[in-house]
Structure 1
Amino acid sequence: MQSLMTNLLVADSILIVIAVLMQPSKQQDALSALSGGATDLFGKTKSRGFEAFMEKVTVVLGVIFFVLALVLAYVSSH
């Protein structure tokens, strides 16, 4: 059981890295973080299409990662 959870955790970690690398770059956001970004305060738009899909995939994979980590910690301690 412990080795299965470890393998699932490693596979999920690899998928998280791939999902993060596939997300479109936000150079405008990075630039505004350095300059203060006050102009973007009220101009926030919702992401659509591929960007929204990749954000959802990343969130789901992150939740799965934490659940697997907690289950693995519980299985390891008992």
Structure 2
Amino acid sequence: MYQVLLTTLLILSVIIVAVIFIQPAKNQSSNVFDSGTGALFERSKARGFEAVMQRLTAILVFLWMLVAIGLVIISSR
């Protein structure tokens, strides 16, 4: 069981990194030190592809955390 969870954690890690790199860049807040943009702290609702990618990332990270906690529980026994 430990090896299965460890393999799952590795696969989820690679998928999470790939999904994060696929997400579209937000040009508005790319430069934190640029005081010219007043929209730095404004929230805009994600739509379309960006919304799907945000949800997918959140689900994958949640699954990653569950597997990691499972590994901790198994390894402590």
User: What TM-score comes out, normalization by structure 2 length?
Assistant: 0.87
Q: Percent identity?
A: 32
Indicate the larger mover: 22-31 or 9-18.
Answer: 22-31
Residue aligned with 1:12, SS: helix
* Offset at residue 37 of structure 1 (A): 7.1
Matched, 1:54 2:53: yes
Cross-structure match for 1:8: 8
User: What TM-score comes out, normalization by structure 1 length?
Assistant: 0.86
* Offset at residue 60 of structure 1 (A): 0.7
Q: What is the rounded CA distance, in whole Å, between the counterparts of 2:19 and 2:69 in structure 1?
A: 22
Change (3 A) 1:41 1:25: closer
Cross-structure match for 1:29: 29
Which ranges of structure 2 fall in alignment gaps of 5 or more residues? Answer: none
Which ranges of structure 1 fall in alignment gaps of 5 or more residues? Answer: none
Q: What is the rounded CA distance, in whole Å, between the counterparts of 1:73 and 1:19 in structure 2?
A: 25
Change (3 A) 1:14 1:39: same
Aligned residues: 77
